[in-house]
Every structure is written in structure tokens, then in C-alpha cells.
A and B are shown apart, each in its own frame.
Chain A
Amino acid sequence: VKTEQLVQVLVADRARAGRSPGRLLTIALLAGGAISLGLFFATLGPRQDLVPALSTWRFDLKVALILVALGVTFALCRALGRPVLLPHPGRYLLSLAVLAAIAVAIELAVAPMDTWGRRLVGSNSLICLTAVPAFSLAPLVAVLVMLRSAAPSSPALAGAAAGLVAGSAGALLYAFHCFDDSPLFVVTWYGLALALVTTVGWLVGRRVLSW
């Protein structure tokens, strides 16, 4: 093959490659999220006091925290989907840990000490631990399918990142049903549910994303 021909072949491949990884990840999340949204409305549905809840700082803080988690984990998943080794992927999650710690500190400063236990346990913890992974399933499958067309440098880490971003999407949906808005509850139980989905993503990613 002559150099000019090789260049032409490379250019043709590039044209076929088309969409960027970020765009593909967005499409995967939207597709999986749409299925989960249907599941959400078919099963739990939004809480009845959604509009009054929007006027409370705890609900707003919960949704804002999950939206930031979705954005941060999206960036992490996109970075880990590349064939280049990502130095210090934990840096992405550090920002989330800082925000979660600030939210918990605010709650501990504002809420009376004798209510901390009740706020931590809440009334929806078991539903949270089942609903968040359930709503994460379709986005997780969609993101893993998308990542199979990429070439992640670490299949296990990319799978875990897929679990994180899918778990955040599932948590965002569930947040509109859940009426436990305390940061103590959100950080503990949503965090546990997210860890569960991340572990599943890590285990599955290790198998299906290797190349």
C-alpha cells in the first residue's frame, strides 16, 4: 500500500467513525434512561408533593447533588472509555465526596441532634436500595454496549464508571419519588445503591469490555 492510499483509507475510516464518544455516551444514557423513565412511571411514579418539595432546600440539594454526580461520572466514564490510561481517575470522585461532606455537615449543623438517627434511617431505605439499581439497569446495559464499541484501557474501571453513571441516572429518577430528603439519608443509602451498581458494572465490564 502506498502512503497516499494508506492516508485515504485512514481518512475514510475516520469519516465512518463519525460520532464522538461523548455523543455516543449521551445517546446510550438517553436510550437507557427512557426505558427507566417508563419503568419509573409504571411502578413508583413521582411523589405527590413534588411542587411543594421543590420549595424546600433539602430536596433541591438532593437533586442538585445527584445532577452533579451524573455530570462528574459522565466525564469519568467518557475518559475511561478511551484506550489511553487515565492518571488518577479518583480525582473525579473526590469532588463528589467533598460536596457530599459539605451537604452532611450542613444537615448536622441545622438539624437537632436527637433527629439525626431518624433522618439517617429514613423510611424508604429498602425501596431505595432496590429501586435505584432497578432504574439503573437499562442505562447500564446501554452504556456497556456503547463502551464495547470503544477500546477502554482498563475494562474493569470502565465498567465501574459505567455503573457509576448508570447508578446516578437511576438515582436521579428515584429522587423524584423518594421523600427522604435529608443529606444523611441521601449520602448513605443512595451511596450504597450506587456502590452496588458500580460493583455490578465493574464485574460485567471486566468480562465484556476486554479486547
Chain B
Amino acid sequence: VKRVQTSFATIAVATSAFLVLLGLLIAIGALLGR
């Protein structure tokens, strides 16, 4: 169970980082596109 929990935690951290980066890039794109 602990192994599965750790795997989910790793996926959650990577997904959160991915979403933050994606949001940041979209914001930069929108700023530069003005």
C-alpha cells in the first residue's frame, strides 16, 4: 500500500509541476503575443 501511495504522490507532484509550467508558458505566450 505504501508503494502505491508513494507512486501516486510522485505522479501528483509531477502533474502539479507540469500544470504550473504549462500555465506559466501560456501566460508568457499571451503576454508576448499582445
Contact = CB atoms under 8 A, between A and B. Distances in A.
A56 interface: yes
A170 B28 CA distance: 22
Interface in B5-34: 6-7, 10-11, 13-15, 17-18, 21-22, 25-26, 28-30, 32-33
A94 B7 contact: yes
Given A68-B17, A72-B14, A60 B33 contact: no
Interface string A47-62: 0000110111101110
Contacts of A23: none
Contacts of A92: 10
Interface residues of B, number: 19
B33 A63 contact: no
B34 to A, nearest CB: 10
B7 A68 contact: no
A63 B17 contact: no
A48 to B, nearest CB: 15
Nearest to B17: A68
A95 B15 contact: yes
A65 B25 contact: no
B25 A91 contact: no
A98 interface: yes
Nearest to A60: B25
Contacts of B33: 51-52, 54-55
Nearest to A50: B32
A88 interface: yes
Nearest to A57: B26
B25 to A, nearest CB: 4
Contacts of B17: 68, 71
Interface of B: 3, 6-7, 10-11, 13-15, 17-18, 21-22, 25-26, 28-30, 32-33
Interface of A: 51-52, 54-57, 59-61, 63-65, 67-68, 71-72, 88, 91-92, 94-96, 98-99
5 closest residue pairs by CB, A with B? A95-B14, A54-B29, A60-B25, A64-B21, A55-B29
Given A56-B29, A60-B29, 11 more contacts: A54-B29, A55-B29, A55-B32, A59-B29, A60-B22, A63-B25, A64-B25, A68-B21, A92-B10, A94-B7, A95-B10
